[in-house]
Amino acid sequence: MNWEERLYLAAHPLAYPLLRGVARRGPVVRVPGVGVVVNDASLARGILMDGETFRKDGPGSPGDLWTPVLGPSVLLNMEGDAHRALRRRLTDLFAPSYTASLCARVLAEPLARLADSLGRGATVDLVDAARVMAGTVIGEVIGLEGGSEAAYRDLFEQGERIVSMVSLRTRRLSPSQVRRAHGVLDPLGDIAAKAYLAGDESTVMGRMRALGLSEDEARGAAGAFFLTGTETVATLVPRLIALLADHGQLRRVAHDLSLHDLSLHDSSLHDFSLLDRAIEEAMRVTTPTPVMLRSVHRPATVGGVAIRPGDRVLIATHNCCRAYGPFDLDRPRPSEPRRLWFGAGPHFCIGYPLAMAQIRLVVRALLAAGPLVISRRSAARGVLIPTYRYLAVRAERAGT
- How far CA 211 is from CA of 19, 89, 140, 299, in Å, comes to 41, 6, 18, 37
Domain limits, the chain: 3-395
Whether pTM > 0.85 for this model: the answer is yes
pLDDT for residue 84: 80
* Residue type at position 333: R
- How far CA 278 is from CA of 239, 256, 269, in Å, comes to 11, 11, 14
* Residue type at position 334: P
Q: Which helix (H) or strand (E) holds 371?
A: none
pLDDT for residue 394: 95
Alpha carbons 239 and 127: distance in angstroms, whole number = 9
Alpha carbons 259 and 146: distance in angstroms, whole number = 37
pLDDT for residue 168: 63
Do 120 and 398 contact (CB within 8 A), yes or no?
yes
What residues of the chain score a pLDDT lower than 50? 262-271, 398-400
Do 80 and 338 contact (CB within 8 A), yes or no?
no
Q: What confidence tens digit (pLDDT) does each residue in 36-63 have?
A: 999 999 999 999 999 889 988 877 777 7
Alpha carbons 22 and 291: distance in angstroms, whole number = 13
pLDDT for residue 397: 66
* Burial degree of 98 (CB within 10 A; 0-12, 13-18, 19+): middle
Q: What confidence tens digit (pLDDT) does each residue in 290-337 have?
A: 999 999 999 999 999 999 999 999 999 999 999 999 999 998 888 888
Burial 282-315 (b: 16+ CB within 10 A, else e): bbbbbbbbbbbbbbbbeebebbebebeeebbbbb
Alpha carbons 393 and 373: distance in angstroms, whole number = 5
Q: What confidence tens digit (pLDDT) does each residue in 143-156 have?
A: 887 778 888 888 88
* Burial degree of 125 (CB within 10 A; 0-12, 13-18, 19+): middle
CB atoms within 10 A of CB 105: 11
pLDDT for residue 72: 75
Alpha carbons 31 and 25: distance in angstroms, whole number = 10
Helix (H, G, I), strand (E, B) or coil at 300: strand
Q: Which of 349, 301, 290, 318 is nearest to 53 (CA)?
A: 301
Q: Which of 61, 90, 48, 63 is nearest to 351 (CA)?
A: 90
Q: Which helix (H) or strand (E) holds 293?
A: strand 292-296
- For every residue of 178-200, DSSP letters joined together read HHHHHHHHHHHHHHHHHHHHHT-
The runs of H, that is alpha helices, within the chain are 3-11, 15-23, 41-49, 62-70, 80-90, 96-119, 126-142, 149-163, 175-198, 204-210, 215-228, 231-246, 250-260, 274-286, 317-322, 352-368
Class of domain 3-395: mainly alpha
* Burial degree of 91 (CB within 10 A; 0-12, 13-18, 19+): exposed
Angle (CA) 339-344-347 rounded to 5° is 125
